[in-house]
Amino acid sequence: MKDPRLILVSSIMALTLGLVVTGCAATLANSPTPTFAPPPTPEAPSSLFVVERRDIAETLQARGRVVSLNEQALLFPMGGSIKTLNVQAGSQVEEKDLIVELDVPQLAEQVEKAEFELNTSLLNLKALEATENESHELWIQRSKLWEEYYQIQRESAITENQRRLVEIQKRIAEMDTAIKASEQRQTQFLVDRAKLEVEYRKQVLTRSNENLARTQLRAPFGGVVISLDVRPGDKIAPFEAFGVLADPDRLEIEASILETEMGRVGLEQPANIVLDAFPLAGYKGKVRQIGSKPILWQGKRAFPVNIAFDPGQKPPRAIRMGADVVISSKISAKALVVPTRAIYTDGNAKFVEVIKEGRSTRVRIETGISNKEHTEIIAGLNEGAVLRLPQ
């Protein structure tokens, strides 16, 4: 028989354990096991666009560079070696500043020879003129004396023979005078020839000095030496360009347009210009000139197109700097437009997504001119229509 005290203790312990188990079960029932599922992904909001009217221009993008309206190649009309170099690439020069001097020894020798020959000719002319003048004066005096002598002889002649002798002497004197006149004409001829020779020698000296002066290359206008490819002692050939001088105050853009795009380019078309080193400073201009001779650009045929900056624009003196150019070709005013990215293409057909009564409907459209941002709508949409734009 069991001890009643042990039975009581066992009963109490069993009751207590039951209460604990019941409490834990109730607690677990009220606190379900947590899950670790990821949160739902939010739907990407769609962008909407209300069809509107605005001015739109068809654009043509091109690459170009800054050039000067007044550029001149640095070269000499003769060959030689560089004697002195007074500038370097980037130097600012004023008009008539000496840029480069060429060493051509034979030209200096030609000047010395021409000066010597001119001085010799001048001395010869001076001597002939002095002889001519002196001879002429002496002959005039001699002729007067002969006249006086004949007059005296004629008056003192008594016999006929004496008179005849005087006449013979007079005729001899006249013949002598004719001979002297011939000599005088010969002297005059020599003087005239000497004068022509002097003029010729002067011209030779002038040309020699001009040729020598061409060995000094001076700036034809004030500007910046934007390139220079020689050093003192370098040899150059006649008309070999070794540098470029440009006026930095008269700038424009020279763009290269592919031959296939030339039909979209015309004079006076507006253009937006962004210089490579100044991306935040936009400039405006107009097509000033379209080249007639094709060039090779990036392996394809292209044409140079010159774009002048609009009046009042002050671009930096960045000659040869690259630039992005956007030329506006066709322009439509107050056209019905949509974002270009809103248009879908299916074969030759074009569509947009239109929101009607909260639902998206694909609508076929016909388009006009277009650029990177917007496209003109010719048919298929009305102003105020709401489009869904792709994300």
Domain ranges of the chain: 52-68+250-389, 71-104+215-244, 105-213
* Amino acid type, 368: G
Question: Residue 25's CB: how many other CB atoms inside 10 A?
Answer: 10
Nearest CA among 368, 296, 298 for reference residue 337: 368
The CATH fold assigned to 71-104+215-244 is: OB fold (Dihydrolipoamide Acetyltransferase, E2P) (2.40.50)
273 band by pLDDT with thresholds 50, 70 and 90: very high
| Statement: residue 215 has pLDDT above 50 | yes
Query: pTM of this prediction?
Result: 0.54
**What distance in Å separates the CA atoms of residue 198 and residue 129, rounded to the nearest whole number?**
13
Long-range contacts from 128-134, C-beta under 8 angstroms, 24+ separation: 128/187, 128/190, 128/191, 128/194, 129/191, 131/187, 132/184, 132/187, 132/188, 132/191
% of the chain residues with pLDDT over 90: 38
Q: What angle separates helix 105-156 from helix 160-213, to the nearest 10 degrees?
A: 170
pLDDT, average across residues 215-238: 92
**Distance of alpha carbon 104 from its chain centroid, rounded?**
31
- The pair of structure tokens assigned to 129 is 């003129």
Per-residue pLDDT averaged across 283-295, rounded?
92
Confidence category of residue 37, pLDDT binned at 50, 70, 90? very low
Q: What is the pLDDT of residue 43?
A: 42
Q: Please provide the CATH number assigned to the domain covering 52-68+250-389.
A: 2.40.30.170
pLDDT band at 134 (very low <50, low <70, confident <90, very high): low
74 contacts 244 by C-beta, under 8 angstroms: yes
Residue 48 CB neighbours (<10 A): 10
List pLDDT tens digits, range 353-382. 999 888 888 999 999 888 888 899 999 898
Are 107 and 213 within 8 A, CB to CB? no
pLDDT for the residue numbered 18? 44
Residues, the chain, total?
391
Q: According to the model, what pLDDT value does residue 136 have?
A: 62
Q: What pLDDT, in 10s, does the model give residues 173-209? A: 767 776 666 767 777 888 888 889 999 999 999 999 9
Bigger pLDDT: 149 or 2? 149
Distance CA(377)–CA(337), nearest Å, equals 6
Q: How far apart, in Å, are the Cα atoms of 27 and each of 12, 24, 30?
A: 23, 5, 5
Stretch 116-129: mean pLDDT:
87
pLDDT value at residue 206: 92
Rounded to an integer, what is the distance from CA 214 to the centroid of its chain? 25
The mean of the pLDDT values for the chain is: 81
* Residue with tokens 């507006």, as numbered in its chain: 270
**What pLDDT does 139 receive?**
66
Three-state secondary structure call for residue 141 = helix
